[in-house]
Amino acid sequence: MSPIRLLARLLLPVACPCGELDVPWCTACAALLAGPPVRAEQGAPRLDRLDGVPPVPVWTLTPYAGPVRDVVVHWKDRGRADLDRLLAPALRRAAARLAPVLSPALDSASVDGPPVDGAPVAVVPVPSTGAARRARGREPVAVLARAVAGGLHDAGMPARVVPALARRGPGRDQVGLGARARGRNLSGSVRMTRRGARALGQRSICILVDDVLTTGATLAAVEQALEEYGHDVLGATVLAATPPPAAAGADRRTPAAEHERESARNLKV
């Protein structure tokens, strides 16, 4: 190793969020994000809006646990924007794999109306609260949305990113809330922006993107906001999904609870 590189490592040490030194991310953590996307909606009870309509399908790369949890927390709340280069390509590859699965549903939904501006799929990122956005200095989920749109395009499915939504009012951030509280907190909390309404037009076919699926309350609120304007939601993609607790009350050390507590600590001002 050259003296300059050695000095740089001493002054600016780098490590994978799992703890392995001298690499921004290790091969083991990267491998956890390399598998095919799998369905995860059955582990998200608040995704069902109890209106007779089945929950939208949600695909995830991996469970939100162990090293993956560390990677996401460092990426989102500890300033590790360099992890974009790990997470975005992983989700882009997953989206390309999903395109053949989405095509039949896309064809079916298109029967009732034409695609918008030649782009049948609008990739809609889940909006952050204003407090979270200010604390982080950016919208991390927007990075994932661009990756999903790119992956669909790679597979021959035209797509575009449409940041159409915003949180209504100041809103309480989701961190630290249980399943029922998340549902109450998000009821009616997501709205269409004027720019989003113009970009989506009268009818678009949408794919939602978020970082972590916990109870499903956030995705349900986003889906409802889009459907109120006549748009169809085919499904959602996320980096990781919290495994359901082994039993009711096995609560305090679940990955979902750890995610909430870790984000709360990092966003506290």
Quote the pLDDT of residue 244: 77
Q: Is residue 6 part of a domain?
A: no
What are the structure tokens assigned to 246, written together?
Answer: 């082994």
Contacts 24+ apart (CB under 8 A), 252-257: 255/63, 255/64, 255/65, 255/69, 256/64, 256/214, 256/215
Determine phi and psi for 123, rounding to 5 degrees: -90, 115
Q: Is residue 2 part of a domain?
A: no
Q: Is residue 17 part of a domain?
A: no
Q: Is residue 261 part of a domain?
A: yes
Q: Is residue 32 part of a domain?
A: no
119 beta partners: 116
Q: What is the pLDDT along the chain (269 residues), one digit of tens a residue?
A: 566 655 555 566 799 999 999 999 999 999 999 989 999 999 999 998 777 778 999 999 999 999 999 999 999 999 999 999 999 999 999 999 999 999 888 877 765 665 544 558 999 999 999 899 999 999 999 999 999 999 999 999 999 999 999 998 654 454 444 445 444 545 578 999 999 999 999 899 999 999 999 999 999 999 999 999 999 999 999 999 999 775 334 444 444 454 445 444 444 43
What are the structure tokens assigned to 240, written together?
Answer: 């990781």
What is the longest distance spanned by two Cα atoms in the chain?
65
DSSP-assigned letter for residue 37: P
Q: Is residue 156 part of a domain?
A: yes
Range of the structural domain that residue 63 is part of: 37-267
- Contact at 8 Å (CB) between 226 and 203? no
- For the chain, the C-alpha Rg in angstroms (whole number) is 19
Q: What are the angstrom distances between the C-alpha of 8 and each of 2, 16, 18?
A: 10, 17, 21
Q: Is residue 218 part of a domain?
A: yes
Quote the pLDDT of residue 7: 56
Determine phi and psi for 229, rounding to 5 degrees: -100, 10
Quote the pLDDT of residue 54: 84
Q: Is residue 15 part of a domain?
A: no
Neighbouring residues of 193: CB distance < 8 A, sequence distance ≥ 6: 164, 165, 166
39 beta partners: 59
Quote the pLDDT of residue 11: 60
Helix runs in 187-234, H state only: 194-200, 217-227
The domain tally of the chain equals 1
Residue 242 neighbours by CB distance under 10 Å:
24
